Amino acid sequence: MKFLRSSTRRRSSRNSLRVVIAGAIVAGSMVVSASSSLAAPKKKILNVASLGFPATFDPAVNGGDYRGLGAFTSLAYDPLFVKTLQGTYAPGLATKGEFGPQNKSLKITLRSGVKFSDGSALTAAGVKAWFLHAQSVPGNTFQQTLKPLTSIKVEGQLGLTLNFSDPVPGFLDDLSQGSGLGMVASPKAIKGTKMATAPSGAGQYILDKKNTVSQITYVYIPNPNYWNKSAIHWDKVVVKVITDSTAQFNALVAGQVDVAGFAGVGNVDAAKAAGLKVSSTTNLLMGIAINGRTTGPLSNVLVRRALAHAVDRKAMSKLLGGKLGVATNQFAVPGDDSYDPAIKDLYAYNPKKAKELLVKAGYPNGFKFTGLSIAIAGQDVEARAFASYLAAIGVTFEPTIADIPTYLTQRFGNVHPTTTLSWGRGTVIQMYDNLWGLPTGYVSSDAKLAKLFKQVLYATPKNYSAAAKKVQNYIMDQVHFIMWSGVPQVGFSSPKISGAEMTKGRPIPYIIDFMPSK
């Protein structure tokens, strides 16, 4: 009994000791956590998923880089003009942009007191050096855009005028965040040799090289020299390279990233069910570019028309865009400046007519051709569907589903005569500069198209619409492209952030507008 009692006492005192220790630990940890939360408020971190990484940080070469919502460039470079949600242009590094007579010159007034991340000042002479760099650096993406640029006149410290041989009414768009041309780099960096490996803009953030692991994680921290510090919303922006689109979506649902652009329409229900914000706008035009118009069966316009008649656009649009898919046989949808209702049924679904055209062209037994595609935005799906439609008229289409770099380098080359597209909507001028007027590995130029385009550039507001439609009519009559659908572009983001909306005026969200939800 005595033994029992003393044992019980010992146990009870041991238990008391345990309670005291446990209590001390809990209290201690509460104090530590409270003090640490007092000492260091939680940092605001934005995690962005990107499907790839740029080979270079030079915006003149990477064209603003669409990957990761343009994060690699937009975070570190402010554009001269900022494209708003409504599609208008607000001041950026430039406060004013005034077109001269016939839109053949543009006078730019720069913001005063702006410094680049390396400390050098934004000046008109520096911006001129930037344009010259964008015009001359090997691999620049603005050859077509800057072709009409004839001279740049510097007027004082903050003014400069760009003169062009042809009208450039859409040039403000080229100087906004959608393109890399307006993302001016520091004159010091332009003279140096590190443009490719280190961003050197006047943007909100700088690349934190110490914590960046190339091709894996890119860490951006606020730029101490930024001209408008109150506009910076994040203590850190982390761009994670996730090359697999399924892994990217999983990361979003699991809360490991906050935003990812260019998600598939097929994931919309799953994203909504997971509580993600879904933003979409009908922006992508789906179809196939026929680059190989100078060789083989595709050089015959009757063959190209036959292929265009073989596609059931209503079914294709449903496949690619669900209920929101819009069937079209033009490189435009209703509402676009070049859309012409008069040719809305130009290539109505008619396999019989397609076969007749093939016979007329001398290919009664069909033929075989290849195409380049990519598993992004449904391009692989459209490639396979197109192949099945062509099989029904005896033509064999063999698409190659390539990775991103291969697709980007070969899409206008001469490896494949065709390339699937999911192209953003735009005005005739944007379309011509960025796609319709580009030389390819097969076709160096099209004189008639260039002539029609010139009529658009010189058009008055009264005859602009007719001129734009003429361009559309020509490329469709000659079947430079076989188009089938306008589909929504979809983006997913965490409910914890706002500003990732897509609108008709600005289909690609601007990462600088992302902020913590209130």
Partner 1 sequence: MTRTKCETDTRGNFSPMLKLVMRRLLFSVPLFFFVCSTSYVLIALIPGSIAQTILGINATAEEYEAVNRSLGLDRPFLERYLNWFSNALQGDLGNSLYNSEPVSQLINQRLEATFSIIISCTLVCLVFGVTFGVISALRGGLIDRLLDGISALGLAVPNFFLGVILVQLFALRFSVFPAIGYVSLGESVSGWFHSMVLPVVTLSVSGIAVVTKQTRDAMRDVLGRPFIRTLQSNGVPQRSIIFKHALRNAAIPVVTVIGLVFVGILSGTVLVEGVFAVPGLGGLAVSAASTSDVTLIQGIVVYFTLIIISVNLVVDVLYGFLNPKIRNS
User: Does residue 517 belong to the site contacting partner 1 (CB under 8 A)?
Assistant: no
Question: Which residue in 95, 103, 163, 250 binds partner 1 (CB under 8 A)?
Answer: 250
CB 106 within 8 Å of CB 162: yes
387 vs 438, beta carbon nearer partner 1? 438
Q: What are phi and psi of 107, to 5 degrees?
A: -95, 125
User: Does residue 404 belong to the site contacting partner 1 (CB under 8 A)?
Assistant: yes
User: Does residue 246 belong to the site contacting partner 1 (CB under 8 A)?
Assistant: yes
Site size with partner 1, rule: CB under 8 A: 41
236 vs 353, beta carbon nearer partner 1? 236
User: Does residue 445 belong to the site contacting partner 1 (CB under 8 A)?
Assistant: no
Q: Bridge-partner residues for 50, per DSSP?
A: 241
User: Does residue 439 belong to the site contacting partner 1 (CB under 8 A)?
Assistant: yes
Q: What's the min distance (Å) between Cβ of 64 and partner 1?
A: 14
Q: What's the min distance (Å) between Cβ of 404 and partner 1?
A: 8
Question: Which residue in 109, 350, 406, 465 binds partner 1 (CB under 8 A)?
Answer: 406
Residues near 449 by beta carbon (within 8 Å), at least 6 away in sequence: 432, 436, 437, 471, 474, 475, 480
User: Does residue 214 belong to the site contacting partner 1 (CB under 8 A)?
Assistant: yes
Dihedral angle over CA of 355, 357, 363, 366, nearest 10: -30
Question: Which residue in 101, 113, 138, 341 binds partner 1 (CB under 8 A)?
Answer: 138
120 vs 250, beta carbon nearer partner 1? 250
Count of alpha carbons within 13 angstroms of residue 424, beta-carbon side: 18
Q: What's the min distance (Å) between Cβ of 278 and partner 1?
A: 17
User: Does residue 441 belong to the site contacting partner 1 (CB under 8 A)?
Assistant: yes
- Helix, strand, coil % in the chain, rounded to nearest 5: 40, 20, 40
Q: What's the min distance (Å) between Cβ of 93 and partner 1?
A: 26
> ∠ CA(126), CA(152), CA(187), 5° rounding?
15
User: Does residue 196 belong to the site contacting partner 1 (CB under 8 A)?
Assistant: yes
CA–CA separation, 304 and 390 (whole Å): 11
What would the two tokens of residue 275 be? 């509580």
User: Does residue 410 belong to the site contacting partner 1 (CB under 8 A)?
Assistant: yes
256 vs 503, beta carbon nearer partner 1? 256
142 vs 484, beta carbon nearer partner 1? 142
Question: Which residue in 21, 32, 45, 55 binds partner 1 (CB under 8 A)?
Answer: 55
DSSP β-ladder status, 259-263 and 45-50: parallel
DSSP character at residue 422:
E
What DSSP string describes 274-339? TT-EEEEEEEEEEEEEE--TTSSGGGSHHHHHHHHHT--HHHHHHHHHGGG-EE-SSSS-TTSTT-
Question: Which residue in 405, 450, 496, 504 binds partner 1 (CB under 8 A)?
Answer: 405
User: Does residue 217 belong to the site contacting partner 1 (CB under 8 A)?
Assistant: yes
Q: What's the min distance (Å) between Cβ of 246 and partner 1?
A: 7
Length of the chain: 518
User: Does residue 215 belong to the site contacting partner 1 (CB under 8 A)?
Assistant: yes
Residues near 188 by beta carbon (within 8 Å), at least 6 away in sequence: 116, 118, 120, 200
User: Does residue 396 belong to the site contacting partner 1 (CB under 8 A)?
Assistant: no
Residues found near partner 1 in the complex (CB under 8 A): 55-56, 138-139, 141, 143, 196-197, 213-217, 240-244, 246-248, 250-251, 253-254, 256, 274, 403-406, 408-413, 438-441
